[in-house]
Amino acid sequence: MSLELTPEQIRQALQGITIPPQPQILVDLQFEQYMPDPDLGTIARLIAQDPGLSGALLKLVNSAQFGLSNKIGSIQRAVDLLGSRSIINLINAQSIKGEMSDETIVTLNRFWDTAQDVANTCLTLAKRTGIQAVDEAYTLGLFHDCGVPLMLKRFPNYMDVLIEAYAQAGPGWRVVDTENRALNTNHSVVGYYTAKSWRLPEHLSAAIANHHNALAVFSDESSHSAHPQLKNLLAVLKMAEHICASYRVLGDQNVDHEWDAIAPLVLDYIGLSEYDFESLKQNLREASGH
Q: Which CATH number is 200's domain given? A: 1.10.3210.10
- Answer yes or no: do 117 and 192 share one domain: yes
**Which pLDDT value is given to residue 79?**
86
Number of domains in the chain: 2
Residues 107 and 145 in one domain: yes
Range of lowest pLDDT (9-23, 102-116, 138-152): 9-23
> Does residue 107 form part of some domain?
yes
12 and 152 fall within a common domain: no
The answer on 121 and 44 residing in a single domain is no
Shared domain check, 269 and 169 = yes
* Residue 2 maps to a domain: no
**1 part of a folded domain:** no
Asked if the model's pLDDT at residue 13 lies above 70, the reply is no
What pLDDT, on a 0 to 100 scale, did the predictor assign at position 5?
60
Report yes or no on 197 lying in a domain. yes
- Are 141 and 276 found together in one domain? yes
Nearest-angstrom CA–CA distance, 290 and 131: 24
143 and 218 part of one domain: yes
Single pTM value for the model: 0.82
pLDDT averaged over every residue in the chain: 85
Residue 58 included in any domain: yes
65: containing domain: 7-97
> Are 87 and 110 within one domain?
no
125 within 8 A of 169, measured Cβ to Cβ: no
**Region of residue 5 (phi > 0: left; psi between -120 and 50: alpha; otherwise: beta):** beta
Whether residue 90 is found in the same domain as residue 221: no
State whether 184 and 46 are in the same domain. no
Is residue 139 domain-shared with residue 282, that is, in the same domain?
A: yes
Same domain (yes/no): 78, 125:
no
Mind listing the pLDDT tens digit for each residue in 164-215? 999 999 888 999 999 999 999 999 999 998 888 888 889 999 999 999 999 9
